[in-house]
Amino acid sequence: MAGHVARTVAQYLLVLFAAISLNFALPRLAPGDAVDYLLPPEQAGSLTPEQRTQVLSQFGLDEPLATQFGDYLSGLARGDLLFSVRYGRPVTELLAERVGWSALLVGGAVLLSTVIGAVLGFRSAWRRGTSRDAGTLTGVMLVDSLPPFFVGMVLILVFSVQLDLFPIFGALPTVDTSGPALVGEVIRRSVLPLVTLTLAYIGPVYLVARSALVSELQEDYVLMAEAKGLSDRQVRRHAERNALLPLSTVTLIGLGALVGGAAVVETVFSYPGLGRLIYEAVLARDYAVLQGAFLLLAIGVIVANFVNDLLYPLLDPRVRRPRAATA
């Protein structure tokens, strides 16, 4: 077990290093001068060659590549990312402000959609081919095909405008509140975006869960279990446990895309998450923010998968010890 962990850790450190290096290399590989990335375009366009050289040396970009990479790594180690042109603030600060809201929103939505999607998917698979399965499938596909911003607007119309249950925008209350009232208000404000995002994520989870269980149900051990007279519930529990495996992998691999993909919902509800920060950084060509955000996401995905790798043996005894499976 310890050997396995050590090997996994080493593998992930390698991947992490690759991600960091890529993050360093990408802006330098892109066409155009680094100055175009560091200054707002209006300013960059009007610089004389001497001023360009000056800007480059100011950012240490006239050094050899190896020195630059060394500086970049030591900067990272100090938690020192670049300076955002648009906000006039260090990128680290901006990311720190947003990451909590993203974790609340995307994390919550991933959790909810996985649970709901899995429950629905397993139910459909168990009753595959029936009208109930078809009904659920149609319903889930219908919801999945609606663009999230549209779902968000409809939720706003029904629950905020018509029923006046939830506020329309923002993560923080506009009026001064503190203590438990603040927590309650933050939760209340997260409900609609959370529901919207959950609805948007359910589709893929549902499909994976359904097809995973369908294929498990065709396995010999299920036939065996049925043959020895286990109740439906017991059979289902055996099969479902195995069908959970692909689900966890699919969810964690897609985590980065989910954070970025939340931008639309964050815009509709004016929620200050990472997705919106990235989206606006793209529009403003705020490369420092983009670089920082991508690094954060890459690290997030790598860590999530690392955790998944460590948890996998607990879920699936077959990968726990290769010897055990063959013995």
Judged by the rule CB under 8 A, the positions of this chain that interact with other proteins are 40-43, 45-46, 48, 83, 87-89, 94, 97, 127, 129-131, 134-135, 138, 142, 147, 149-150, 153-154, 156-158, 160-162, 164, 167-172, 174-175, 267-270, 272, 276-277, 283-285
* Cβ distance to other proteins smaller for residue 166 or 294: 166
Query: Given 3-state DSSP classes, what are the helix, strand and coil percentages for the chain, each rounded to the nearest 5?
Result: 80, 0, 20
* Cβ distance to other proteins smaller for residue 69 or 83: 83
CA distances from 257 to 27, 117, 278 (A): 20, 18, 12
Shortest Cβ distance from residue 27 to other proteins (Å)? Answer: 16
Cα distance between residue 301 and residue 86, in whole Å: 27
* Cβ distance to other proteins smaller for residue 45 or 322: 45
* Cβ distance to other proteins smaller for residue 233 or 323: 233
Cα distance between residue 290 and residue 296, in whole Å: 10
Shortest Cβ distance from residue 299 to other proteins (Å)? Answer: 22
3-class DSSP assignment, residue 139: helix
Shortest Cβ distance from residue 293 to other proteins (Å)? Answer: 14
Shortest Cβ distance from residue 130 to other proteins (Å)? Answer: 5
Helix axes 2-29, 287-315, angle to 10 degrees: 160
Shortest Cβ distance from residue 157 to other proteins (Å)? Answer: 5
Shortest Cβ distance from residue 98 to other proteins (Å)? Answer: 9
* Phi, then psi, of 106 in degrees rounded to 5: -70, -40
Question: Measured over all CA atoms, what is the biggest interatomic distance in the chain, rounded to whole angstroms?
Answer: 84
Q: Burial level of 15, CB count in 10 A (0-12/13-18/19+)?
A: middle
* Cβ distance to other proteins smaller for residue 131 or 326: 131
Eight-state DSSP code of residue 318: G
* Cβ distance to other proteins smaller for residue 252 or 275: 275
State which amino acid sits at residue 98: R
* Cβ distance to other proteins smaller for residue 118 or 156: 156
Shortest Cβ distance from residue 223 to other proteins (Å)? Answer: 15
Cα distance between residue 233 and residue 109, in whole Å: 28
Are 271 and 167 in contact, with CB atoms under 8 Å apart?
no
